[in-house]
Amino acid sequence: MKNFADNLLDKIDKKENPSDVGLDPRLNKIPKSIIEEMVGKFGKSFEAVGASFFEFNKRIIDAIKDIVPAVKPQMAFYEQYGFHGVKAFVDTAEYAKKKGLIVIEDAKRNDIGSTAQAYSDGHIGMVDFFDRKENSLNVDCITVNPYLGSDGVLPFIESVKNYGKGIFVLVKTSNPSSGEFQDVTTSEGVKNFVLVANNVKKWCEETVGKSGYGSVGAVVGATYPEQATELRKIMDKSIFLVPGYGAQGGGAKDVVPCFNKDGHGAIVNSSRGIIFAYEKGWKPEQFAEAAREAAMKMKEDICGALKQANRCSW
Amino acid sequence: MKNFADNLLDKIDKKENPSDVGLDPRLNKIPKSIIEEMVGKFGKSFEAVGASFFEFNKRIIDAIKDIVPAVKPQMAFYEQYGFHGVKAFVDTAEYAKKKGLIVIEDAKRNDIGSTAQAYSDGHIGMVDFFDRKENSLNVDCITVNPYLGSDGVLPFIESVKNYGKGIFVLVKTSNPSSGEFQDVTTSEGVKNFVLVANNVKKWCEETVGKSGYGSVGAVVGATYPEQATELRKIMDKSIFLVPGYGAQGGGAKDVVPCFNKDGHGAIVNSSRGIIFAYEKGWKPEQFAEAAREAAMKMKEDICGALKQANRCSW
């Protein structure tokens, strides 16, 4: 069984690209030709929405599969359309894996005890299935919210160990209000997000692979480079999943502190900036071509900044 | 449009019962007769799992619908079986609403900006649907994790206001490790969960109905009665959703501090203790009958403790 961190870093090195594409489809941004085809097949239904999402994603995946090591579908955009949306998510994840991509499920799941176990089993483990166990959603890794404490995280780490999967724990998120609870200073003089980071470091130790990195990673926003510098030192063996680049305002220079000096240790996400790149001067039907160009530009942008900072591993 | 808090309290008063039943199905605890029927129809498939869950839930709902005001399906147990599981969730929610019950979705969703908006739209609002908006999961209320700050909560509050829905924000959860991040004392001498509570109070003010209660509630575990006493004073207009009673170790006396002196202000959940009550001396096929008896016992237990504390509103 391959270690998740080793697998991800291997794919990053082979493609010389520490970035991924967020697959966050929106109905009103999908080209008319796809919508018309699916409404023709399924009527104006949630099924048509799901089928449109999957078709859109397939074409994006085909256009970027040789450039990026991973895709990050955000579950919210799928499950908002109920089970037809979730089916589109499952189909997308399966398609991406067939094309050799790592699937990072952004779902920020969290609960306690047997309920956290159910999330863990369903997304990255195996579920009870009559007289045996069976894979269910079977993504490569999932984002997890730590507010409930270790009870809420350990069931996910069990699946990380048992099935060669990964998790990314929310530590310092990219949004403007992330500081409200995450940046509060404790009476012992540390910030809350540092407390979480200390736990991630501890959890990660037990999952370290041949690469020297572990499969318990952290979400650290590109919009807070100072905090990233601090967190990089604490969680030295964790891979950072870095949102906030592009549409949210983070630039290539801002993501550099998320990488270790060996040039490893982070994967930077862009969603809207890639999948809806067609909005900047292309025709809607050219969305896949536009996405490919934007993905290549992101790769060059980030690798350029890493090279300049002498943190590029190839 | 009725206010969610008013609606919930009205149903609680009519049934003279501030408790709900958690619908958390597990495949290995569903009676053989149901499993055999569904496997006969759908083979050993995820579809059969979903159909078994829905059949089990329907019989539970029929057995308890005149006793409790609400049910709380926990999404983890459904979505672990992919879209067939989510379909069982949707069918269950619809069935419960038809039977006059409030549906409290326990999903602890959280994200930022447009992604939080997608969760809010899908679960308690309306989603983009070709040339118009459409209801999707359409539950009455949902639990929300606050770790991302107000960016992550405000999109849910918009739906609360626009569609007469409710949310319960995780404040102090019932699990043993909830203190790891929630109980940390800040440099200003307050606990983290109090910071969250102060925000819930503020958010709740804008949603207060005729009952004097608002539709932004809080999750406060029955296992921490001291903290509940403190939180009850801070969030005086919020309804508490109280997990931890029964299987998790909280007793009827422990939930009393979650209620205001007017006898209102909380709804206590029990899941395993009700839906799998048959395990205590009944035959598996008698699960619905056993659940009914357990639900009545929970009602008497909690109302007894409230009456003794002079906090019963009927």
Give A52-118 as a DSSP string. Answer: HHHHHHHHHHHHHTTT-SEEEEBHHHHHTTHHHHHHHHHHHHHHHHHTT-EEEEEEEE---HHHHHH
CB contact under 8 A, B86 and A77: no
Residue of B nearest to A121 (CA): B80
Helix axes A46-64, A32-42, angle to 10 degrees: 140
Check pLDDT > 90 for residue A250: no
Residues of A in contact with B184 (CB under 8 A): 184, 186, 192, 195
Residues of B in contact with A26 (CB under 8 A): 128
Check pLDDT > 90 for residue A246: no
Q: Name B132's Cβ contacts closer than 8 Å, sequence gap at least 6.
A: none
Q: 142-161 in A: which are within 8 Å (CB) of B?
A: 145-152
Residues of A in contact with B192 (CB under 8 A): 181, 184, 192
Give the whole-angstrom CA distance, residue A190 versus residue B179.
16
CB contact under 8 A, A86 and B79: yes
Query: B140: closest CA among B111, B112, B168?
Result: B168
Assign A13 a pLDDT band (cuts: 50, 70, 90).
Answer: very high
Q: What Å distances lie between residue A100 and A65, A94, A140, A236, B181, CA to CA?
A: 8, 10, 12, 27, 38
Assign A226 a pLDDT band (cuts: 50, 70, 90).
Answer: very high
Q: 90-149 in A: which are within 8 Å (CB) of B?
A: 90, 108-113, 115-116, 118-119, 121-123, 127-130, 136-137, 145-149
Q: Name A139's Cβ contacts closer than 8 Å, sequence gap at least 6.
A: A93, A103, A104, A105, A123, A124, A165
On average, the pLDDT of chain B sits at 96
Interface test with chain A among B32, B148, B203, B223, by most A beta carbons within 10 Å: B148
Token pair of A63 as six digits: 């256009």
Q: 174-213 in B: which are within 8 Å (CB) of A?
A: 174-182, 184-187, 189, 192, 195-196, 199
CB contact under 8 A, A181 and B196: yes
What letter does residue B29 receive in the DSSP assignment?
Answer: G
Q: Which amino acid is at A158?
A: E
CB contact under 8 A, A76 and B115: yes
* Structural domains in chain B (count): 1
Say if residues A93 and A122 touch (Cβ distance below 8 Å).
no
Dihedral of CA atoms B152, A144, A87, B100 in degrees, nearest 10, equals -60
In a domain, A314, yes or no: no
Quote the minimal CA–CA distance from B221 to chain A in Å: 12
Q: Tell me the sheet residues that pair with A141.
A: A104, A166
Say if residues A172 and A193 touch (Cβ distance below 8 Å).
yes
Query: B81: closest CA among B122, B47, B40?
Result: B47
Mean pLDDT over A23-49 rounds to: 98
Check pLDDT > 90 for residue A313: no
Give the whole-angstrom CA distance, residue B136 versus residue B134.
6
Say if residues B216 and B235 touch (Cβ distance below 8 Å).
no
Give the whole-angstrom CA distance, residue A294 versus residue B135.
34
Parent domain of A111: 4-308
B286 and chain A in contact, CB less than 8 A: no
In a domain, B211, yes or no: yes
Can you give the pLDDT at residue B247? 73
Can you give the pLDDT at residue A161? 98
How confident is the model over B71-124, as pLDDT tens digits? 999 999 999 999 999 999 999 999 999 999 999 999 999 999 999 999 999 999
Q: Name B284's Cβ contacts closer than 8 Å, sequence gap at least 6.
A: B31, B32, B278
Residues of B in contact with A115 (CB under 8 A): 24, 74, 76-77
- Using only C-alpha atoms, chain B has a radius of gyration, in whole angstroms, of 19
Q: Name A298's Cβ contacts closer than 8 Å, sequence gap at least 6.
A: A19, A245, A246, A268, A270, A273, A274
Can you give the pLDDT at residue A121? 98
In a domain, A191, yes or no: yes
Can you give the pLDDT at residue A17? 98
Residues of A in contact with B200 (CB under 8 A): none
Q: Which of A86, A181, A196 has the CB atom closest to B82's CB atom?
A: A86
CB contact under 8 A, B151 and A176: yes
Q: Which of B83, B137, B195 has the CB atom closest to A184's CB atom?
A: B195
Give the whole-angstrom CA distance, residue B25 versus residue B39.
17
Residue indicated by tokens 């709900």: B20
Say if residues A56 and A287 touch (Cβ distance below 8 Å).
yes
Q: Which of A83, A85, A113 has the CB atom closest to B175's CB atom?
A: A113
Say if residues B256 and B18 touch (Cβ distance below 8 Å).
no
Query: B97: closest CA among B137, B51, B48?
Result: B137
Mean pLDDT over B291-306 rounds to: 97
Residues of B in contact with A222 (CB under 8 A): none
How confident is the model over B238-287, as pLDDT tens digits? 999 999 898 778 899 999 999 999 999 999 999 999 999 999 999 999 99
In a domain, B48, yes or no: no
Lowest mean pLDDT among A103-117, B125-139, B249-263: B249-263
Q: Tell me the sheet residues that pair with A269.
A: A20
Q: What sign does the dihedral A291-A293-A297-A299 (CA atoms) show?
A: positive
Neighbour tally for A282: CB within 10 Å:
16
Quote the minimal CA–CA distance from B236 to chain A in Å: 22
Residues of A in contact with B148 (CB under 8 A): 170, 173, 175, 177-178
Can you give the pLDDT at residue B74? 98
In a domain, A242, yes or no: yes
Quote the minimal CA–CA distance from B192 to chain A in Å: 7
Complex prediction ipTM: 0.97
**Segment (H or E) for B1:** none
Residue indicated by tokens 């149901």: B34
In a domain, A230, yes or no: yes
Residues of A in contact with B115 (CB under 8 A): 24, 74, 76-77
Can you give the pLDDT at residue B173? 94
Mapped onto helix, strand or coil, the DSSP state of residue B146 is coil
Give the whole-angstrom CA distance, residue B137 versus residue A78.
12
Give me the active site residues of B, please. 108
Check pLDDT > 80 for residue B129: yes
Assign B69 a pLDDT band (cuts: 50, 70, 90).
Answer: very high
**Segment (H or E) for B135:** strand B132-135
Check pLDDT > 80 for residue B162: yes
Query: B109: closest CA among B72, B146, B83?
Result: B146
Q: For the domain that residue A128 is a member of, what is the CATH number? A: 3.20.20.70
Say if residues A161 and A207 touch (Cβ distance below 8 Å).
yes
Neighbour tally for A118: CB within 10 Å:
27
Give B211-239 as a DSSP string. Answer: TS-EEEEEEE-TT-HHHHHHHHHHTTTEE
Give the whole-angstrom CA distance, residue B176 versus residue A68.
41
Say if residues A150 and B180 touch (Cβ distance below 8 Å).
yes
Check pLDDT > 80 for residue B220: yes
CB contact under 8 A, A80 and B123: yes
Please provide the distance, in angstroms rounded to a whole number, between the alpha carbons at the two ends of chain B: 26
In a domain, A313, yes or no: no
Q: Tell me the sheet residues that pair with B263.
A: none
CB contact under 8 A, A170 and B147: yes
- Name the maximum alpha-carbon separation found in chain A: 62
CB contact under 8 A, B81 and A127: yes
Can you give the pLDDT at residue A249? 80
Query: B312: closest CA among B274, B227, B255?
Result: B255
Q: 5-44 in B: which are within 8 Å (CB) of A?
A: 24, 26-28, 35, 39, 44
In a domain, B90, yes or no: no
Give me the active site residues of A, please. 108
Give the whole-angstrom CA distance, residue B246 versus residue B255.
11
Mean pLDDT over A63-77 rounds to: 98
Q: Which amino acid is at A262?
A: D
Mean pLDDT over A136-161 rounds to: 97
Mean pLDDT over B48-66 rounds to: 98
CB contact under 8 A, B192 and A196: no
Q: Which amino acid is at A92?
A: T
CB contact under 8 A, A148 and B177: yes
Quote the minimal CA–CA distance from B249 to chain A in Å: 14
Q: Under the phi-then-psi rule, with left for phi > 0, alpha for psi from -120 to 50, and beta for the rest, what region is B21?
A: beta
